[in-house]
Each structure stands twice: as structure tokens, then as C-alpha cells.
Amino acid sequence: MKVTIKNWNAIAQWRWDIGKEFDETDDEDLCGICRVAYEGCCPRCKMPGDDCPVLWGECGHVYHMHCIMQWIEQQPPNKQNCPMDRKPWITAERKTANTATQQTQAVQS
Amino acid sequence: MASPGVQALVEAKWQSAFKTLNREEPGISGLLKTSQARQLASDFLRPRALSEPRRKYRADVMANAFRLLYQTKQLHGVLENFLEEMRQQRHLITEDVEAYMHEYEVRPYAFVLVTEVHETADSQIIAQLVHRLVEWFNAWRPTTETDGHPGPLESLGHVAIDSYTDAFQTHIYSVLPPSFSSGFKDLIASTLPVSDPAPPPDRALWDAFHALGLIERYESLISSVCYELVEKHVVETCAGQWSERMLQDLRDWMQNKVLPWMCLPYAPGARTMEEAGASLHGVGPRFDFHVCKTLCDLRTSEIFDIIVDYPDSIDALYDLKECLYRVDQRSNLVQSLRKANKKRLLHPGADTKDILAQYVSTIRSLRIVDPPGVLLYKVADPIRRYLRDRADTIRCIVSSLVGDNENGESLIDDEPPLPYLTKDAEDYSDPHWEPEPIDAGPDFRANKPGDVISTLVSIYDTKDVFVKELQVLLAQRLLAVTDGNYEKERRNIEILKVRFGEQALQVCEVMLRDMTDSRRIDQHVQSQKPSILHPVIISRHFWPSLQSGSFVMPQKLRSIQEEYAREFTAFKPDKRLVWLSHMGSVKLELELQDRTIEAEVTPVAAAIIELFSEKDVWTAGELMAQMQRLDKEHLRKGLNVWVDLGVLKEEGADKYRLLEVAEESSKKEGTVSAPKPKELPAVQTTQQQQAEQMRVFWNYIEGMLTNLGSLPLDRIQNMLKFARGYDRSIEQLGMFMEAARREGLVVVRDGMWRLNK
């Protein structure tokens, strides 16, 4: 028997790639500032996703972009720290995610 | 002996009496003449049997005699005498009446077979009796009329005739037996203009009625005959006829047929319609009222079915409205409708959908009959209370909101949306302000939101439940759409936004955007690397919880998914895809040795058949092991799809074999096209979601009951309140415990719950 798939309407959810493996039974990952899930949106936004993205810090903490920007603005210039660990906030380049994806791809192939 | 004074007095009296009688005649000749005249008059007036021949009297002699009696003031005595004689002779009439009535009472039995004939025959006897009585009446009448000129007796005024008529009528009324009334009624009924064209009225008969004073005496009887006619006609012509205005027709009928007849009893002398109109002034409105009342009663008894027929029965409702203006039977209508609703609608056998449809029709119908909505308010209360108790009411309302019901029409199409704002205070500067209707209850508010949807939504105190249900429904509908046409859903949401507010439907907005975004992404991905996979990418948290639990797809399918995910991540570098493998649909083609099969199936079924392409025989256990985390139910369903299509065969003990060559029984044409999977996307209903949550709390309850033995419900509730996220009411907990009891997990005795061991 030969099975040929003609068309497949599937359903998927998107997640922010926050550098850790997706886990079926994961607890909600919440933004440390607004306590809303990353995949949700910050209190000022209405649309999740690209309209309300998240930012990764060098320190490994992740916040909604709007939340962390507001936080940074409120701080004096010399004290623009990550609210979690008080290290100076530096927005990370998206390396971790890509390498992670590449690694998983490598494993699969 | 009397004193001389008295003697003188008597003598003077005597003299004067004698003088009156004798007048100026010599001797006693005057006296003799007077007595002769009196004799003559008495003889003339004497009531005798009709059979007895009447003597001829010379008119001038009679006139002289009466004049003489008048002059001697004897007329009064003569009249008294006449009435006395009449009293003695009246047995003649009595006998006559008895004879006729006897015939009438006996007759029916002879004619029992032919009802129609016997009725008219009966009433003919009564008519004969009436004519006979008129004969008696005329024969005995004390009259000296000659050729229409009033004689000397008439010149005395109506005293003589009136007292005679009184005496005569009193007598006949006293001798007429009770059965006469019914006979008379039949007789009147037989004169009704029922046939078309109506026969000319029998004037003689009506004159006779008038002469005997039967009209006045039996007035109520006559009107009841007429009422019955009206009732019969209304029921005959209007019952079940809801698609036309009937009231005007009825009034025309009254005008053209009944009114001419009514002139006979009520306006006997009238020559023209104008004269009759004056006489009928008091009677006409009474009958018009009766027409309205009868129609109103009829429509009230039919109201439930009228509402069922709603848009077609609109004219009947207008009729009813007009009748209700005239006849105050609003409370009857309410009671009748409430009763009908209770009996025919609000019982477990009725579908919630049907109840809602009837409720909506009721709203619209009663809005026609009674625009302020008092009737509706009174009728709706039990329906609303009943609906509130039904579990699936919200779902039904929401699906009718978005046009998900069978006939595909949605409520929001019909009406312009009104803002979901209610005016609480009355606007006193409104020139069209009207007071609340008199029968409005104390908690009736005229300014309630007027349209159907708000009324439905207001069954519940909060609109949140609707939004939640709407979300579930929208999810189901969106996921079922495959051609990318979401316009209808978008439009619905826009309209509902006006009603529920922008904020409440924000979630739906996100869902819609997910759909369009998915399309855009898919277009991009396809342009990079064409794929047969077209996923809908959703934002979790904004969709109702979908059936979770993913199983391991066979390698071939998984690689398709992974390839797509890679392209996606290349397009949106920060995002990853998580597949909900259970959901969606797969269209595939199977090439078997002797046939090809095209089918659209669930991904689970696709995965199963993919596994069968590796090896022909699998057991359920092996399949489960291959796919992991797949629950039995889904596996069974997926297998059954193929068994139904004749691709797989169950060979006992959960063993399945691929049929490369179709078996005889299932072999049909080369290509069997499978029916599309009909079931809606597996979005969990709100009920399922609640049950899911409750399952968590069951662990707590179980622990509690294990440690503490038995507990009353309120203790359990109080303890559960300590648990995080517990927001159930004690009623809900009770329902849950009841469900647990049915499953045999717990038992209850005297309100104490404990585990079933």
C-alpha cells in the first residue's frame, strides 16, 4: 500500500523561543514585570505576538519588550538594570535560539 | 236606628247617585237606559272562546251606550267587570297554550332522526302558538274602534287598553311552561339570516312578538341567540385563519347580515337605516363588543400556535391587538399563554433550541400585540427562569447569535443592533412619553433594552458567560473553515462588539487575526518551500483550551511538520511552532493492489494508516506503543475510520489487518470516497473545561475524605476554598459530588459524604 498525502490542514501554536526546550507539561512562563504569559501581551497591548514582542537580556531573563522598556525609562541612566538580578540590562542578540534550533535540527537529521 | 242626621246624609247621597244615573229623565227611564247600556257594553266586551260566533253590534248604538256610560261614570265599573270576566274565561287560553306546548314537547321524539327537520318543525309549533295568542289578544281587546277610527272607549286614553294588556300578558306569562323559552329561542334562531341570500323576514311573526310583549320579556334570550350566532360564525370563519385580518370582515358581516335582522326586534318601526341606527344605538356597540370578545377568546386560545407560526400569523396578531383595545382580556391572554407554554414548551422533551425559537417568536409577537411589553414581561418570566436552568441555553443562544442553527439564519441579521446601553432614568422631557400600562407590575421597566438579542442575553445576569461560549463557538467555526473565508465570522464579531463591548470581544479579535496571519505565513512558507501542510497557527491563551496531548507522528508525517516548522522559524526567528497533532484534517490517497481510496480523515487516522503502510498487521497495543501518549479512544476512532472504509479488518483480540485486496462484502467501485469527517474541531466546551478543572479538586476531596471519614457538603466547600483557584459555588460542588456518587466514587448518607469502599 502506498499512502500519498494530498493536503493537510493542521493546527499549531506558536511560542517564543526562550532558549529552553518545549515541555508538554510546562508551567506558564510569565513576564517578570507584568506577570502575564510571554505568549500573551503586556497590559497596554491588545494583540499578542509580533505586536507585543519579548526581549531577551544578556542575563538570560526575558520580558515583554514594552514592559522592560518602560522599566528602563523609569530608572536613572546609570542604573538601568534587569529587574530580576540587578545586572545592567543588555538586550541579547538572538543567538541562543538559533543555535538551539540548529542543534535540534542537527539531532533530527 | 240611625239618627236623623245620618238619615239625611244617606238620603242626599242616594239622591245624587240616582240623579247621576237617571240624569234628567222622567221617572226611572234614565235609570233603565243606563242599565241597558251597561248590559250592552258588558256583552260587547265579554271575552269569549274564539270558536263562539261574534254578534254584530251597530256602531251608533254602541257609541251611544258608551257615551251614556261615560256620562254616568259607569265605565270604570264596566272595565272592572270585564277584567273579572276575563279572569274567569282565561282557562280557555290556558287550555290552548297547554295543547300547543304538549304538541311541542311530545313532537321531538317523533323527529329525533332528522334533527334539522325537527328543529324547524318545533319552532313552527311555537310560531303557531304565538299567532294563536295574538288572535286571542285581538279578540278580547276592549276596543270600540271602527274602521280605524277611535271609538268612545279609545277617547278615554290608554287606561283601558293598558290594563287589559297587562292582565293578558301577566296571564300568558304565567301559563307558558319553562319549555317555551327554549322553543322560543329555537324560533328566533330559525329566523336568523344564516343562509345566503337571507330569506325575507317574517314581519307578521315579529309584529306578533311585539304585540304580545315577548321581545321585552325575552330580550336576553334574543341577544343570546344573536351572541351564539356571532360565536358560531367567528369560530367557523376565523379558527386557524391567521394569515388575514379577520376583524374587518367580521364587522362587514355584522353590518350586512346581522344588522338588518337586528332591526326586527330592536327597531321595529324603522323604515330607513338612519332610523334604525338611532334605535340600535345602544345595541350595536354591544354586539360589536361581542364580536371582538369572541375573536379575542378564539385567538387567546390559539395564541401558542399563532406564535409558532409567527411571521405568517402576523395578521392574526394585529387583530388580537385591536380586539384587546376594545375588550380588556389581557390577563386572560397572559394566563392562557403561560399555561400553554408550561404544558407544551417548558418540559424536558423540548429542545432548548426550540424553546429559544419559540421565545424569540413570543417576543416578536407580543411586541406587536402590546408594544410597551407588559404582556411579554409577564409571559416571559417562566420561560426565562426555565431557560436559566438548562445547561445548553448559553450555547444555543450564542449559536443562534452567529447563525449556527439549522436554517442558518442568525438573529443579528434581522435587527439593527442597538447599543448595549440601557437608560435607567426616564426622560421626562420626552414629548411622546407615556405612562406605564395599567397592568404593569411594580418591577416592570418600560425602558428595557428593546431588541431580541439583548432580551436573550439578559436571561443571565452577566454577559461573561456568553463571551466565553462565543469564544468556544468561534474557535470551532474558525477551525472548520478551510477556504480562508472568514468574512462572515468577522462581520458577526463586529456586530456583537457593538452589543457586548469592544473589550469583551478582544479575545475573538485575536483569534480572527491569528487566522489571517496564519494564511499570510502559509503563503510565505509555501513560496519558500512548497508543502502539503497548511497549518493554522494560533496564539495560546487567546483560544479556548483545545484538546491537548500530542502523540508521536510516524516519521513521514513528522518530517513534513518539522520541515514546515523550520521554514516558519526562518521567517519568524523568535518563534517556534508546537503542533497540536490531534487536530485538523488530512486528505490522502491510498493505493492498494486492487483499488485506490481517497479520504479526508483526522490526523490520528492518517498516522495509523501510515503505520500500516509499513506492515500489514498491527495490534492495538503495538500501535499505542508506536504513537505513545495516544489515548485509547482516539486510537479506536482512527481505526474505525479505516474499518468503515474497508481498508482495515479487525481480526479479533484488537488485531487489525490491512486488506490489500478488498473483501467481497466491502468491494464496490474502484475508488471509494470517504465522507468528510463531520465532527467539529475538538475544542473543549466550557463544560468540559470546568469538568477538567474539577478533576484537580477531586484529588483534594479524596484526600479530605480519606483523612476525615465523612464530611458534610459545606465542610468540603469551606476546605476547598483554601485551595488555589477554587471559585465554585456550593451548588456546583453539590452537582459535582452527585456526579461522583453516580460513578460510585462516594456515597452520601444524611448529608454526610464519604468515600465508597
Q: Best interface-test mutation with B: which of A6, A7, A13, A36 has the largest number of B CBs within 10 A?
A: A13
Nearest of B684, B263, B742, B645 to residue B468 by alpha carbon: B684
Contacts of B357 (CB under 8 A, 6+ apart): B400
Q: Rounded distance, CA B497 to CA B499, Å?
A: 5
Residue A16 confidence (pLDDT) above 60: yes
B2 HSE (CA, 13 A, CB side)? 8
- Cβ within 8 Å, pair B589-A3: yes
B743 domain residue, yes or no: yes
Residue B527 confidence (pLDDT) above 80: yes
More confident residue, B379 or B399: B379
| pLDDT tens-digit series, residues B311-322 | 888 888 888 888
Average pLDDT over residues B99-122: 59
For residue B285, give the C-alpha cell.
356597540
**Residues in chain A, total:** 109
Nearest CA in chain A to B480: A9
**pLDDT value, residue B450:** 60
Nearest CA in chain A to B586: A8
Of A8, A47, A97, the CB nearest to B534: A8
Last residue of one domain, picked from the residues B61, B89, B117: B89
Nearest CA in chain A to B478: A11
Q: Rounded distance, CA B606 to CA B634, Å?
A: 12
**B404 confidence band (pLDDT: 50, 70, 90):** low
**pLDDT value, residue A21:** 57
In this structure, the answer to whether residues B125 and B172 fall within a common structural domain is yes
B433 domain residue, yes or no: no
In this structure, the answer to whether residues B246 and B385 fall within a common structural domain is yes
- Cβ within 8 Å, pair A12-B579: yes
- Cβ within 8 Å, pair B588-A94: no
- What SS3 state is found at B449? coil
Bridge partners of residue B585, in order along the sequence: A9
**Which chain B residues have a beta carbon less than 8 Å from that of A6?**
532, 587-589, 598
Contact B129, B97 (CB under 8 A): yes
- Rounded to two decimals, the ipTM of the complex is 0.81
**Could you identify the residue written with the cell 452589543?**
B499
Q: Which domains does chain A have, with CATH numbers?
A: 25-96 (3.30.40.10)
**Residues in chain B, total:** 757
Contact B257, B193 (CB under 8 A): yes
**A28 confidence band (pLDDT: 50, 70, 90):** low
For residue B378, give the C-alpha cell.
409577564
Contact A56, A62 (CB under 8 A): yes
Distance of CA B130 to the CA centre of its chain: 47
In this structure, the answer to whether residues B210 and B259 fall within a common structural domain is no
Average pLDDT over residues B171-180: 79
> What's the angle, vertex CA B176, arms to CA B174 and CA B180, rounded to 5?
145
In this structure, the answer to whether residues B378 and B481 fall within a common structural domain is no
Average pLDDT over residues B273-293: 75
How close does chain A come to B695, measured CA to CA in Å? 17
**pLDDT value, residue B118:** 46
B556 domain residue, yes or no: no
More confident residue, B602 or A104: B602
Residue B412 confidence (pLDDT) above 60: no
**Interaxial angle between packed helices B506-528 and B487-500, expressed in degrees from 0 to 180 and rounded to the nearest 10:** 160
In this structure, the answer to whether residues B32 and B68 fall within a common structural domain is yes
Residue B501 confidence (pLDDT) above 70: yes
Contact B514, B508 (CB under 8 A): no
Contact B173, B213 (CB under 8 A): no
- Cβ within 8 Å, pair A40-B575: no
Q: Rounded distance, CA B205 to CA B607, Å?
A: 98
- Cβ within 8 Å, pair B578-A17: no
In this structure, the answer to whether residues B248 and B369 fall within a common structural domain is yes
Of A1, A8, A105, the CB nearest to B590: A1
Cα torsion B207, B210, B211, B216 to 10°: value is 170
**pLDDT value, residue B666:** 47
Cα torsion B657, B659, B660, B662 to 10°: value is 170
**Which chain B residues have a beta carbon less than 8 Å from that of A31?**
none
Q: Rounded distance, CA B73 to CA B34, Å?
A: 10
How close does chain A come to B574, measured CA to CA in Å? 5
- What SS3 state is found at A16? strand
How close does chain B come to A32, measured CA to CA in Å? 17
| pLDDT tens-digit series, residues B239-261 | 888 888 888 888 888 877 777 77
- Cβ within 8 Å, pair B612-A1: yes
Residue A34 confidence (pLDDT) above 80: yes
Q: Rounded distance, CA B608 to CA B552, Å?
A: 11
- Cβ within 8 Å, pair B574-A17: yes
B742 domain residue, yes or no: yes
Q: Rounded distance, CA B608 to CA B507, Å?
A: 35
- What SS3 state is found at B213? coil
- Cβ within 8 Å, pair B572-A47: no
Of B537, B546, B586, the CB nearest to A8: B586
B151: domain range?
A: 93-217
**pLDDT value, residue B254:** 82
More confident residue, B95 or B160: B95
**Which chain B residues have a beta carbon less than 8 Å from that of A1?**
590-592, 612-613, 658, 660
**B636 confidence band (pLDDT: 50, 70, 90):** confident
- Cβ within 8 Å, pair A3-B573: no
- Cβ within 8 Å, pair B606-A15: no
**pLDDT value, residue A96:** 46
Contact B428, B494 (CB under 8 A): no
Distance of CA B708 to the CA centre of its chain: 56
Burial class from Cβ neighbours inside 10 Å (0-12, 13-18, 19+) for residue B252 reads exposed
**Which chain A residues have a beta carbon less than 8 Å from that of B479?**
11
**B156 confidence band (pLDDT: 50, 70, 90):** low
Q: Among the listed ranges A15-24, B103-112, B527-536, B559-568, which one has the minimum average pLDDT value? A: B103-112
**B108 confidence band (pLDDT: 50, 70, 90):** low
B349 domain residue, yes or no: yes
Q: Rounded distance, CA B381 to CA B77, Å?
A: 78
Q: Is the dihedral of CA B716, B719, B725, B727 positive or negative?
A: positive
Question: pLDDT exceeding 70 applies to what percent of chain B?
Answer: 80
B453 domain residue, yes or no: yes
How would you classify the pairing of strands B655-658 and B617-619? antiparallel
Beta strands in B561-623 (DSSP E): 575-591, 596-601, 617-619
**pLDDT value, residue B275:** 66
Residue B37 confidence (pLDDT) above 80: no
Please give the full DSSP string across B142-204, using - where no structure is assigned.
----BTTB--TTGGG-SHHHHHHHHHHHHHHHHHS-THHHHHHHHHHHHTS--SSSPPPP-HH
**pLDDT value, residue B292:** 87
Contact B388, B460 (CB under 8 A): yes
B643 HSE (CA, 13 A, CB side)? 14
Residue B100 confidence (pLDDT) above 50: yes
- Cβ within 8 Å, pair B574-A94: yes
More confident residue, B337 or B206: B337
Residue B114 confidence (pLDDT) above 50: no
B539 domain residue, yes or no: no
Residue B736 confidence (pLDDT) above 80: yes
- Cβ within 8 Å, pair B658-A1: yes
**B676 confidence band (pLDDT: 50, 70, 90):** very low
More confident residue, B402 or B633: B633
Last residue of one domain, picked from the residues B673, B705, B731: B673
Contact B657, B649 (CB under 8 A): yes
In this structure, the answer to whether residues B385 and B395 fall within a common structural domain is no
> What's the angle, vertex CA B317, arms to CA B314 and CA B320, rounded to 5?
160
DSSP state of B543: S
Residue B328 confidence (pLDDT) above 50: yes
Q: Which residues of A touch B (CB under 8 A)?
A: 1-17, 22, 24, 37, 39-40, 46-50, 53-54, 94, 97-98, 101, 105, 108
In this structure, the answer to whether residues B99 and B67 fall within a common structural domain is no
B220 HSE (CA, 13 A, CB side)? 1
**pLDDT value, residue B199:** 61
Q: Among the listed ranges B307-321, B425-439, B549-563, which one has the minimum average pLDDT value? A: B425-439
In this structure, the answer to whether residues B194 and B245 fall within a common structural domain is no
In this structure, the answer to whether residues B204 and B295 fall within a common structural domain is no
For residue B124, give the C-alpha cell.
313552527
Residue B553 confidence (pLDDT) above 80: yes
Residue B688 confidence (pLDDT) above 60: yes
More confident residue, B117 or B22: B22
In this structure, the answer to whether residues B592 and B477 fall within a common structural domain is no
| pLDDT tens-digit series, residues B123-152 | 777 788 888 887 777 777 766 555 555 555
Q: Rounded distance, CA B140 to CA A14, Å?
A: 115
Residue B54 confidence (pLDDT) above 70: no
| pLDDT tens-digit series, residues B68-98 | 777 777 777 777 887 888 888 777 778 877 8
Residue B443 confidence (pLDDT) above 70: no
Of B539, B562, B613, the CB nearest to A39: B539
Average pLDDT over residues B506-524: 88
**Which chain A residues have a beta carbon less than 8 Å from that of B565?**
12
Residue B422 confidence (pLDDT) above 50: no
**Interaxial angle between packed helices B159-175 and B91-110, expressed in degrees from 0 to 180 and rounded to the nearest 10:** 40
**Could you identify the residue written with the cell 404544558?**
B343
- Cβ within 8 Å, pair A14-B479: no
**pLDDT value, residue B56:** 67
Of A3, A7, A98, the CB nearest to B590: A3
**pLDDT value, residue B595:** 82
For residue B76, give the C-alpha cell.
270604570
- Cβ within 8 Å, pair A9-B569: no
* Number of domains present in the structure of chain B: 6
**pLDDT value, residue B406:** 46
| pLDDT tens-digit series, residues B265-280 | 776 666 666 666 666 6
Q: Rounded distance, CA B521 to CA A48, Å?
A: 16
Of B574, B584, B589, the CB nearest to A8: B584
In this structure, the answer to whether residues B165 and B178 fall within a common structural domain is yes
**Which chain B residues have a beta carbon less than 8 Å from that of A48?**
510, 539, 541-542
**Which chain A residues have a beta carbon less than 8 Å from that of B542?**
40, 48
Cβ-Cβ pairs closer than 8 A, A with B, add up to 149
- Give exposure, B177-213, as e/b (b: 16+ Cβ within 10 Å): eeebeebbbbbbbbbbbeeeeeeeeeeebbebbbbbb
- Give exposure, B121-144, as e/b (b: 16+ Cβ within 10 Å): ebbebbbebbebbbebbeebbbeb
**pLDDT value, residue B268:** 66
Average pLDDT over residues B599-619: 86
| pLDDT tens-digit series, residues B375-390 | 888 888 888 888 888 8
Average per-residue pLDDT for chain B: 77
**Could you identify the residue written with the cell 411579554?**
B376
Question: pLDDT exceeding 90 applies to what percent of chain B?
Answer: 0
Q: Best interface-test mutation with B: which of A8, A51, A109 has the largest number of B CBs within 10 A?
A: A8
**Which chain A residues have a beta carbon less than 8 Å from that of B610?**
3
- Cβ within 8 Å, pair B569-A1: no
- Cβ within 8 Å, pair A10-B535: yes
What number of other Cβ atoms are within 10 A of residue B404's Cβ? Answer: 16
